[in-house]
């Protein structure tokens, strides 16, 4: 007879995911303290703040850091970041390094460090964690006043969440960027136009924003974790859809787009560098 203390690993994983879901519901409903408590039940069940976790649970430490910061428990956030660093020493894999850099980026308010974590998450095939890192990086960018990069990173996170069907995650990232007046803009389910700004795919829109801000293809490729060839292909599509022949005309189209939306009293879709240049 099996001992009643034996836990089926599959059941344990399902229970962990259920707890994460409950934590995110609590966060959604404006109860960050409850959300933090639930996450701590996963990674620090004894309440020691030593976080005696394994590699499988290290992925949740960035949630702990973020929630701890939200409720003013910086000691818990710092302890979680130290635990992530410890896991890297014990198990130096791309997954543990991603978690550690995500946590450290949040502690240091460093969006580039968090974007590095997103690249590592992508390399191990963890799109939800990649999107979460991009979301956090977008908020850090916005907090620094870099609205253009914040919006580009935000749109990248939203694209991944949408592909995964993570509707509430889209709602959460929308809410987190709204105080900075950074929004996705109106994007309905209607058929996409063949020409003009409305014809852009999400990736094309992100790249058009950066082209309009004066970024080179090489810089855009680095920012968006794409190959230069892919960026060049997108820029060609953007030029065709705008019936444009130069990057200057893309910038002019972006300025007109921003002006039209402002004139209709709709939320800004974020071209602050163009505004500053004017």
Burial class, 128, CB count within 10 angstroms (exposed 0-12 / middle 13-18 / buried 19+): middle
Contact in structure between 70 and 32 (CB atoms under 8 Å): yes
The pair phi, psi for residue 211, each rounded to 5°, is -60, -45
CA distances from 181 to 2, 76, 203, 238, 270 (A): 57, 30, 21, 25, 8
Dihedral sign of CA atoms 131, 80, 86, 222 in order: positive
Q: What local confidence, expressed as pLDDT, does residue 202 receive?
A: 74
pLDDT score, position 269: 35
Q: Quick one: pLDDT at residue 10?
A: 57
What does pTM read for this prediction? 0.66
CA–CA separation, 238 vs 198, rounded Å?
A: 11
Q: What is the distance between the alpha carbons of residues 278 and 267, in angstroms, rounded to a whole number?
A: 19
Q: Which domains does the chain have, with CATH numbers?
A: 1-108 (1.25.40)
Structure tokens at 18: 């259920």
Mean pLDDT per 10-residue segment, the chain (278 residues)? 51 72 82 93 85 74 94 95 93 93 97 95 87 96 92 92 80 90 67 75 83 86 71 89 90 82 45 34
Which candidate, 217, 212, 223, places its Cα nearest to that of 278? Answer: 212
């Amino acid at each position: 007879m099996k001992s009643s203390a034996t836990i089926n690993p599959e059941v344990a994983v399902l229970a962990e995911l259920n707890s994460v879901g409950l934590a995110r519901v609590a966060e959604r409903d404006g109860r960050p303290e409850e959300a933090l408590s639930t996450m701590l039940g996963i990674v620090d069940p004894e309440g020691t703040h030593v976080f005696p976790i394994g590699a499988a649970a290290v992925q949740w430490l960035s949630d702990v850091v973020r929630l701890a910061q939200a409720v003013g428990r910086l000691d818990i956030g710092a302890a979680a970041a130290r635990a992530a660093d410890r896991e890297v020493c014990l198990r130096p894999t791309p997954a543990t390094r991603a978690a550690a850099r995500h946590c450290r980026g949040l502690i240091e308010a460093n969006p580039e460090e968090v974007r590095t974590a997103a690249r590592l998450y992508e390399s191990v095939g963890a799109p939800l964690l990649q999107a979460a890192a991009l979301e956090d990086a977008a908020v850090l960018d916005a907090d620094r006043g870099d609205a253009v990069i914040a919006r580009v990173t935000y749109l990248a996170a939203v694209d991944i969440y949408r592909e995964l069907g993570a509707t509430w995650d889209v709602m959460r990232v929308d809410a987190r960027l709204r105080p900075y007046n950074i929004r996705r803009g109106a994007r309905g389910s209607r058929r996409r136009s063949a020409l003009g700004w409305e014809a852009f795919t999400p990736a094309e829109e992100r790249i058009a924003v950066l082209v309009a801000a004066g970024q080179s293809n090489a810089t855009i490729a680095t920012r968006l974790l794409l190959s230069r060839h892919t960026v060049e292909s997108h820029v060609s599509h953007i030029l065709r859809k705008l019936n444009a022949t130069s990057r200057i005309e893309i910038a002019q189209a972006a300025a007109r787009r921003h002006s039209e939306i402002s004139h209709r009293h709709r939320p800004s879709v974020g071209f602050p560098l163009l505004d500053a240049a004017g």
